[in-house]
Amino acid sequence: MSSFKTEQEEFWAGSFGNEYVDRNRSAQLLASNVAFFSKIIPVTGGVASLVEFGANIGMNLHAVRTLLPNVELAAVEINQQAAAELKKFENITVYEQSILEFMPDRKWDFSLIKGVLIHINPECLKQVYEILYQSSNRYICVAEYYNPSPVEIMYRGHSGKLFKRDFAGEMLKMFGDLRLVDYGFAYHGDNHFPQDDITWFLLEKTKG
C-alpha cells in the first residue's frame, strides 16, 4: 500500500511519471535549458552547491553543470526510473522520495524548482515553500507557469494535476527576508531555445 499523502504524488511516482521520463530527453531541450539558465546564473554569485526539487532525469542539472562545471549537485525525485538516471551524475546526492517527505539535512547555495510546483496539491504548497526556503543558504529559483490568481487547468486529459498561480509572490509574502533579484519569461515559440511558457523568479535571502 502506498505511503503517499496526495493523488499528485501517486501520479508522478507511477506510470505517468515513467512516460514523462521517456518524453523529456532531447538535445534540443538541453540546449534550451542552457540558454534558460544562462539568464539566471550570471545574476547570482558564489554558487558552489545546488539542489533541485523534482529533478526528473536531470535535464536542468545538465544545463547548470554546463554553466557551473564544479557545482555540487543534489536532487529530490519521486520517480524511481528518473532517480536511477540521476544517480549516474558525478558529484551528486540523490534523495529518492517525495518532496513532501523531504527533510533537508543541510543547506545549499541555490535551491531550484522548475515545472513542479504546478503539479503539487495546492493544500501542500506552504509545506513545499518552507522546504525550498529551509534548503537554501542564499538563492531560491522558482520557474513555473504563472497566473496572478490560483487556477486549475486540465493536464493531458487529467484533472487535479496542474495548477497555476503566483508561486514566487506567495513565497515573498510568506518569508519577510526574501527579496526579488530578477525574473523573466521563456516562450514556447522562441526561434532557437523554446521552453514551455515558463516564468522564472530568482529570490535571495537577505539574512543568513
Task: List the pLDDT tens digit at each of the 208 positions of the chain.
Answer: 357 778 777 776 656 555 666 666 788 889 999 999 999 999 999 999 999 999 999 999 999 999 999 999 999 999 898 899 999 999 999 999 999 999 999 999 999 999 999 999 999 999 999 999 999 999 999 999 999 999 999 877 777 778 999 999 999 999 999 999 999 999 999 999 999 999 999 999 997 5
The pLDDT value given to residue 193: 97
SS (H, E, C) 161-205: CCEEECHHHHHHHHCCCEEEEEEEEECCCCCCCCCCCEEEEEEEE
Distance separating alpha carbons of residues 45 and 181, to the nearest angstrom: 12
Residue 60 cell numbers, joined: 536542468
Look at strands 108-114 and 136-144 and give their pairing: parallel
Beta bridge pairs of residue 96: 77
Residue 97 cell numbers, joined: 522520495
The pLDDT value given to residue 6: 81
The pLDDT value given to residue 13: 67
In sign, the C-alpha dihedral spanning 56, 62, 63, 69 is: positive
- CA 134 to chain centroid, in Å, comes to 15
158 secondary structure, DSSP code: B
Distance separating alpha carbons of residues 205 and 20, to the nearest angstrom: 33
Beta bridge pairs of residue 178: 205
* CATH code assigned to 7-205: 3.40.50.150
Contact 139, 113 (CB under 8 A): no
